[in-house]
A and B are shown apart, each in its own frame.
Chain A
Amino acid sequence: MGLRWRLILASLVFLVSLMYALPSVPVIGPALERVLPSSKINLGLDLKGGIHLTLGVDVAKAVSNSLALAGQDLRRMAQDEKIVVLRPRVVGGTALEFLLPRADNEAKLREILARHFPQLSVGQPQAGEGGQLRYVARFTQAEVKRIEDLALDQALRTIRNRIDQFGVAEPDIRKQAGNRIQVQLPGISDPRRAVQIIGQTAHLEFHLVREDVDPAKAVLPTGVVVLPMLEKDAGHSEGRIAVERDSMLTGEDVADARPAFDNMNKSYVTMSFNARGARIFERVTGESVGRRMAIVLDGKVYSAPVIRERIGGGKASISGSFTTAEAQDLAIVLRAGSLPAPVSVLEERSVGPSLGQEAIDSGVRAALVGAAAVVLFIGIYYGVSGFIANLMLCFTMLIVMAGMGAFGATLTLPGIAGIVLTIGMAVDANVLIYERIREELRLGLTPLAAVRAGFDRAVVSITDANLTSIIVTVILYQFGTGPIRGFAVTLGLGIVASMFTAIFVSRAIFEEWARHCGPKGLSI
């Protein structure tokens, strides 16, 4: 390639880099917003402050929940066909067990199963006491997979909804392998609340209370369960209450929920149902006047008011001993929908915004001091050539910044370390070339011939040496998480950029210089 073309290409790269690097510069960026590309270097959470969460979705629980539902459906459908199916229950989280008291119904049951429950694979029945048949059914592999995927997707959607309600700028929520969800919330000041809102399942149900059953009794009648109850005005200590197992209505039918205050200035949550919910609610309250209705959230009874009259209009409220913030958060999770399966926090990292700023400050300081030391050292050691090497170093840094801006890469604290390290290692290519040129000059070559030979010979070594570093960088990127990826990106960009500036740009400059320097020789 001709010298002129080299210089033109180098200038072009310079201009494009400048264009992509400038938006990330704090003062200049905003001023030139209209002309420059909008992509900026993102700051990682460790620099900006914020919270990083890895959530594990308990998909096994979702599978066992679906299995329990299938059991209830089966019983109801069998009932419609005048067959009695007894005690469907989930065993070990993966198998549904149920009893058929009359063996002569077997064929009919088979037909129901085949028609309505193709997702269940049912084993051969075993004969039990009194002519009963005991069945064990499991979901097919495909169904398990489907439920798991669905649960994960729904969890993702729900969490996204909840975070939207919470009002975080630029949240990052994504699925990860192994039923994990990664959530990044920059600039959150109260991580405690964020985790609570995200992690709360908020599975809302309405159950009728069974006053006739003593919750302390060991043996309960069928269809009755005992739930813990948060007692009003007694802090959050727990009592117990017996309720009917099947819920009348769940949170799925809640259309909206808002925090409110009663006349005692206590917080409660009002909610309105969708059309279906309103219809059911009206019917049930009409049928059960005088009974108590338990409002159950995540398996805990929040309140159990007495139904005084048929409640139309589709409105209900949950009172409990809420603080204002608790009522607000509860309203958020009710609005945003419930999580299909319990979600646990597997990893939490939160960084205060002040600490992030400190990290940026010290990182930038280290980078500046490191760069200054290297620039001084190289300048003194190589004279004018050192000056060129330093120019190349600045060019390299510009390309790194532009690359990060253009790709929307995230700058993390280790990323800053990567940049500082690049400053040290970027001069390697120049050093290799200069040492070669010095050798060639000592052999008595003219400056131009020495420059050419020096570059030619050094390029092989530079490529070999940097390729191994690039291999390491790629592996770090592939296997690293969060901040480490940031490190790999800056280091990788630094290596490639330093190769370009040292081999391509500085060669053009040197050849031009050697051509004009005459008998004085190169300052190298």
Chain B
Amino acid sequence: MSFTFIKHDTNIDFIGKRYWVYAVSVLLILIGIISAVWGNGLKMGIDFAGGVIVQVQFQEPVADEALKKGLDIPALPGISTQRFGEGGRDYLLRFSSAENADATHLRTTVMEALTATFPGNTAEIVRLEIVGPKVGADLTNKALSALYYAILLIAVYISGRFEQRWMAGAIMAAALWGGIYVAGLTGLGMGWLVLLALGITMAVCFVLRLNFALGAVVGLIHDVAITVGLLSLMNVEIDLNVMAALMTLVGFSLNDTIIIYDRLRENLRATPDLDMAHLINKSVNQTLSRTILTSGTTLLSTLALYFLGGGVIHDFALTMLIGVVVGTASSIYVSSAILLALGDTDFYVRLVQRKEQYERPGEHGVV
């Protein structure tokens, strides 16, 4: 037995409805920005901001209020408590200041406070993480460098692969690298450098008319922006795990984009007389079952992680959950729709008819 969700001749007019999706996207990004700037802000985890997390496990469940009250002592400054996992026995305690945080001292203080508050209920410190400000800054720089190199390599790869313009890709890489090097001399922080890198990439893509690369990079920024915005709205802490999830979702969303791009290139060769909107619609419809299936299975396994994976992996799974949905949508409505806005069919037909040595002859067109 076998099924189909999507009839093979479905012809949903995705591109026609793009303005609705744009509106939703813009709204989501705005909400994210508002939340990040005026609302909760971006909550950086201790991996990046430095700080202290102590996870304690009680013998018996305790009341939130009693815990908060019991630990609100001068020796433990800036504490916040959070229930962790199921059962009410685990709590995360966070402390604001990591300066001179002495683990030994901290352990003793926390244990003393807990014993005093809950005399009959033994607590145990099951996890303790202290990240000093230096290491936090290091990890932040590493994470941002990772983003920077991801942008660089992906932009180069896509311009080379999809437009047969490795030279243009190389020029862009050189511009990016040079720009960042020069900007680095001014002593700007890594965060600004990455923003700058994004700006340079988009500008160079636009000037060199590397539309496929531009579409992919804008889609990538779109996904990350919305996901991070929603994380800020939900008050989720950005830690190393969330960072890894963000990178994974970049890969996932690019996957999706490239499958559609691939189909689009094929259709450009097969039916070059159709207009661009039709071609994009056709490509998206043809790959729709695949998109739904793959996103579906990824969603299934991410849901398993989200509900069963345990506390530490929870935020990772949440980030991926948002990312899978947003990434799938952006492949259609951002990355593909940009192609429509930036060029006509002729331009792309000329592009794909450049040398085709990388594909086997007779592979295209109706067999």
A residues at B contact (CB < 8 Å): 46, 54, 56, 178, 191-192, 195-196, 345-352, 354-355, 358-359, 362-363, 365-367, 369-371, 373-374, 377-378, 380-383, 385-386, 413-414, 416-417, 420-421, 423-425, 427-428, 431-432, 435, 438-440, 442-443, 445, 449, 453, 456-457, 460-461, 464-469, 471-473, 475-476, 478-481, 483-484, 487-488, 491, 523-524
Closest-by-CB residue of B relative to A51 is B128
Q: What are the nearest 7 A-B pairs in CB distance?
A: A370-B304, A362-B310, A424-B301, A370-B301, A424-B298, A383-B2, A479-B146
Interface flags for B131-158 (1: CB within 8 Å of A; 0: not) read 1101100110011011001100110011
B123 CB-CB contact with A under 8 Å? no
Stretch in B60-68, B173-181, B193-201, B237-245 with 4+ CB within 8 Å of A: B237-245
Interface flags for B294-315 (1: CB within 8 Å of A; 0: not) read 1011111111110111101100
Contact B142 A417 (CB under 8 A): no
Number of B residues contacting the other chain (C-beta, 8 Å)?
Answer: 81
Interface flags for B244-256 (1: CB within 8 Å of A; 0: not) read 1001101110111
Instruction: Tell me which residues across on chain B come within 8 A of A524, comparing CB atoms.
Output: 2
Contact B300 A373 (CB under 8 A): yes
Closest-by-CB residue of A relative to B306 is A366
B residues at A contact (CB < 8 Å): 1-4, 8, 55, 57, 103-104, 107, 124-132, 134-135, 138-139, 142-143, 145-146, 149-150, 153-154, 157-158, 161, 240-241, 243-244, 247-248, 250-252, 254-256, 258-259, 262-263, 266, 286-287, 289-290, 293-294, 296-305, 307-310, 312-313, 316-317, 320, 359-360, 363, 366-367
Contact A381 B290 (CB under 8 A): no
Cβ-defined partner of B255 (8 Å) among A378, A438, A468, A478:
A468
Complex Cα distance, B294 from A423, in Å, reads 11
Cβ-defined partner of B128 (8 Å) among A349, A362, A487:
A349
Closest-by-CB residue of A relative to B360 is A456
Instruction: Tell me which residues across on chain B come within 8 A of A472, comparing CB atoms.
Output: 150, 154, 247-248, 250-251, 254
Cβ-defined partner of A352 (8 Å) among B124, B149, B252, B263:
B124
Complex Cα distance, B367 from A350, in Å, reads 61
Cβ-defined partner of B8 (8 Å) among A192, A438, A476:
A438
Instruction: Tell me which residues across on chain A come within 8 A of B262, comparing CB atoms.
Output: 460-461, 464-465
Instruction: Tell me which residues across on chain A come within 8 A of B251, comparing CB atoms.
Output: 468-469, 471-473
Closest-by-CB residue of A relative to B262 is A461
Q: List 21 A-B contacts (CB under 8 A).
A: A192-B104, A345-B132, A346-B134, A352-B125, A362-B309, A369-B308, A374-B300, A377-B296, A383-B2, A416-B313, A417-B313, A421-B320, A423-B301, A427-B293, A435-B290, A449-B367, A456-B363, A465-B254, A472-B150, A476-B244, A483-B240
Please classify the interface of chain B as helix (H, G, I), strand (E, B), loop, or mixed, using the class held by over half of its residues.
helix
Contact A381 B3 (CB under 8 A): yes
Given known contacts A359-B312, A435-B289, A479-B143, is B154 in contact with A471 (CB within 8 Å)? yes
Closest-by-CB residue of A relative to B9 is A442
Give chain A nearest CB distance to B262 CB in angstroms: 4
Please classify the interface of chain A as helix (H, G, I), strand (E, B), loop, or mixed, using the class held by over half of its residues.
helix
Complex Cα distance, B147 from A146, in Å, reads 35
Cβ-defined partner of A355 (8 Å) among B104, B126, B294:
B126
Instruction: Tell me which residues across on chain A come within 8 A of B145, comparing CB atoms.
Output: 479
Instruction: Tell me which residues across on chain B come within 8 A of A488, comparing CB atoms.
Output: 244
Closest-by-CB residue of A relative to B143 is A479
Of the listed residues A192, A417, A438, A524, the one surrounded by the most CB atoms of chain B closer than 10 A to its CB is: A417
Instruction: Tell me which residues across on chain A come within 8 A of B297, comparing CB atoms.
Output: 374, 377-378, 423-425, 427-428, 431
Of the listed residues B4, B247, B263, B302, the one surrounded by the most CB atoms of chain A closer than 10 A to its CB is: B247
Instruction: Tell me which residues across on chain B come within 8 A of A382, comparing CB atoms.
Output: 2
Instruction: Tell me which residues across on chain B come within 8 A of A195, comparing CB atoms.
Output: 103-104
Contact A484 B103 (CB under 8 A): no
Contact B161 A464 (CB under 8 A): yes
Cβ-defined partner of B127 (8 Å) among A355, A369, A421, A432:
A355
